């Protein structure tokens, strides 16, 4: 039986482990002894939930937005048995709020694809007639072109401007989508990557453009069922095991952990971020990595436990607020502020009045309605997918000599730093190993 170590228990590591465990089940398949080595005392990496005594339900480190085009994520959930914990929209529907009390729906009716999306754009009240036609012209150009319309050395903002997307279209649609998808400003994010994601969302099928929302907390959907799945298939997880070094000896790999212990494996999948991988002693003799680390972009989330929750929809997109998304969990609501570089240095007490003020302005939530609040700052939520980073990612090989493989949202998946990219990367690494 092959001994495989997976370093890092985020969703990319779990996806690699689940792919290998599934293969081990086949009668004719190879057998693996899978061990996940995780430096923290919990799994999930940047996807985790925790309890707070002032909140009635577990809260997530940050609300994660998923879509119908997250095919690998959906297939992973099917594999680990958590599909019933996902809420699937029937058709695209996003309530956008530009001004307090004025909700504009971007909503696709139950028409055949792609007529439903065309209808959604035509009936979107956030745009005047000229902007609607410019938007539809741009989308049609994308639909009927087999080649990318964006240039590799172009930012998302430059691309949108080149295709005559008016300031109104950008502020009513594109800006919030760029920031939500790339976690960086349109002036910085790679146009090529943004276009790729847009094509996945809008030009695959109508399901791809719908939102997929976890019914419970993220750990309950993506992490705990995977641990159970692995547990019943002979996989094991070890916590508080930071791996510090790797070396090769007689076609086996020796890992050294933070306690100074060494252990032998036949294959190793590193499913950790680039900044952590670069610190592993000996890694450069197995893999060529970018000379410098990537830049990272923060996300700030606020959670509010409420006495009375006035929100009617499951989520809202705010077009002119430091809060971009608000998600409704019944007893509590969660806000998302992506690309939050301007706010990340500020404390909870400094930011609280601003966020409470926005909730009052847009939803009428007063001080008296709030039972508890909790801010979560993730400084390195995602890498910044700018033009230079995207060109470096394209050169990363996910396997090397000596049975060392790479996974993680930053690897060469062709996707931004997302759950989908991470899950895909773990599957690719496991398939290469197989
Ligand atoms: C607040 C927030 C909001 C987000 N919103 C969205 C969203 O809406 N939609 C979306 O799709 N994505 C979103 N993302 C991005 C998504 O969470 C990440 O892309 C994904 O979780 C990355 O998974 P990963 O396995 O590649 O890396 P990680 O989750 O970082 O996992 C790496 C793991 O490796 C461990 N580790 C590191 N070094 C070592 C070592 N030396 N030895 C052992 N273990 C080690 C770490 O502790 C960690 O558990 C968001 C992220 C954040 C933080």
170 lines ligand 1 (CB under 6 A): no
126 lines ligand 1 (CB under 6 A): no
Total residues belonging to the chain: 434
pLDDT in tens, 259-304: 999 999 999 999 999 999 999 999 998 988 888 999 999 999 999 9
Q: Are 38 and 258 in contact (CB under 8 A)?
A: no
DSSP 8-state secondary structure symbol assigned to residue 223? I
Q: What H or E segment, with its residue span, contains residue 133?
A: helix 129-143
46 lines ligand 1 (CB under 6 A): yes
Q: Which residue, 362, 357, 359, is CA-closest to 306?
A: 359
What is the C-alpha to C-alpha distance for residues 92 and 371, in angstroms, rounded to an integer? 33
Q: Report angle CA 407, 409, 410 to the nearest 5 degrees.
A: 90
Block residue for tokens 């990340």: 344
Q: What's the rounded mean pLDDT across residues 29-49?
A: 94
420 lines ligand 1 (CB under 6 A): yes
Q: From ligand 1's centre to the CA of 10, what distance in Å?
A: 5
Terminal alpha carbon distance of the chain: 13
Determine the pLDDT at residue 399: 64
Domains of the chain, CATH where assigned: 2-48+217-291+385-433 (3.50.50.60), 52-87+295-383 (3.90.660.10), 108-209 (1.10.3110)
**The whole model's pTM is what?**
0.96
Closest-lying ligand 1 atom to the alpha carbon of residue 42? 49
When mean pLDDT is compared across 99-108, 125-134, 344-353, the lowest value belongs to 99-108
When mean pLDDT is compared across 95-109, 334-348, 403-417, the lowest value belongs to 95-109
């Amino acid at each position: 039986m092959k001994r495989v170590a997976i370093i890092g228990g985020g969703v990319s590591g779990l996806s690699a482990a689940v792919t290998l465990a599934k293969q081990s089940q086949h009668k004719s398949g190879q057998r693996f002894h899978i061990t996940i080595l995780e430096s923290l005392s919990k799994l999930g990496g940047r996807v985790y939930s925790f309890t707070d005594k002032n909140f009635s339900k577990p809260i997530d480190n940050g609300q994660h937005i998923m879509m119908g085009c997250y095919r690998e994520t959906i297939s992973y959930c099917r594999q680990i048995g958590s599909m019933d914990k996902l809420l699937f929209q029937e058709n695209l529907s996003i309530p956008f709020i530009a001004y307090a009390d004025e909700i504009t729906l971007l909503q696709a009716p139950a028409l055949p694809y792609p007529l439903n999306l065309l209808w959604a754009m035509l009936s979107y009240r956030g745009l005047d007639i000229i902007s609607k036609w410019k938007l539809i012209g741009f989308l049609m150009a994308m639909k009927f072109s087999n080649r990318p319309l964006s240039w590799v050395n172009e930012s998302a903002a430059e691309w949108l401007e080149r295709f005559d997307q008016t300031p109104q279209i950008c502020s009513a649609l594109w800006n919030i989508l760029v920031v939500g998808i790339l976690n960086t400003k349109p002036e910085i994010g790679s146009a090529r990557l943004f276009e790729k994601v847009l094509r996945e969302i809008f030009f695959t099928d109508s399901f791809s453009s719908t939102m997929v929302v976890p019914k419970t907390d993220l750990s309950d959907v993506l992490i705990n069922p995977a641990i159970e799945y692995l547990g019943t298939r002979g996989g094991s997880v070890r916590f508080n095991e930071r791996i510090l070094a790797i070396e090769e000896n007689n076609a086996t790999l020796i890992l050294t952990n933070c306690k100074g212990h060494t252990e032998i494996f036949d294959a190793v999948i590193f499913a950790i971020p680039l900044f952590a991988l670069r610190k592993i002693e000996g890694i450069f003799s197995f893999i060529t990595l970018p000379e410098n680390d990537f830049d990272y972009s923060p996300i700030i989330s606020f959670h509010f436990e409420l006495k009375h929750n006035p929100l009617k929809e499951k989520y809202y997109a705010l077009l002119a607020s430091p809060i971009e998304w608000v998600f409704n969990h019944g007893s509590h609501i969660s806000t998302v502020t992506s690309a939050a570089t301007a706010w990340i240095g500020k404390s909870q007490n400094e930011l609280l009045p601003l966020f409470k003020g926005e909730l009052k302005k847009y939803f009428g939530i007063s001080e008296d309605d709030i039972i508890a609040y909790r801010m979560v700052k993730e400084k390195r939520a995602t890498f910044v997918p700018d033009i230079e980073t995207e060109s470096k990612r394209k050169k990363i090989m996910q396997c090397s000599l000596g049975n060392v493989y790479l996974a993680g949202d930053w690897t060469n998946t062709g996707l931004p730093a997302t759950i989908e990219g991470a899950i895909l990367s773990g599957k690719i690494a496991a398939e290469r190993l197989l």
